[in-house]
Amino acid sequence: MSILKKIQQPIFWRNVVKVAIPFFIVVTIFSLVLNSSKDIFSGNFNAVNETNFSNGKWMRFWGLKFFISVTYGVWITNKKMA
């Protein structure tokens, strides 16, 4: 079955969400630890905010992770569905 027929099925999107949400959480945690591990472990959350979220940086931070997670969810679901 082609991906165009698969995306018309509600079960496809439920499976995408089941894959994308945990992946989104893992990618977010990994990214925060990678970018701001020193500040996180020292409890300096103002520096974490400044590095990742202030001055419009939050749009790029969350947008990229959302896009990657949905793309990964669609790819894995397409691969696993018959």
- What is the rounded average pLDDT of the residues 28-53? 95
pTM (predicted TM-score): 0.87
Residue 82 has pLDDT above 90, yes or no: no
Task: Give the H/E segment covering residue 35.
Answer: helix 10-42
Q: What is the pLDDT of residue 45?
A: 96
Tell me the CB-side half-sphere exposure of residue 57, using CA atoms within 13 A: 8
At 38 the pLDDT is: 95
pLDDT in tens, 7-21: 999 999 999 999 999
Q: 37 pLDDT band (50/70/90 cuts)?
A: very high
Amino acid at 13: W
Task: Report d(CA 18, CA 39) in Å as an integer.
Answer: 31
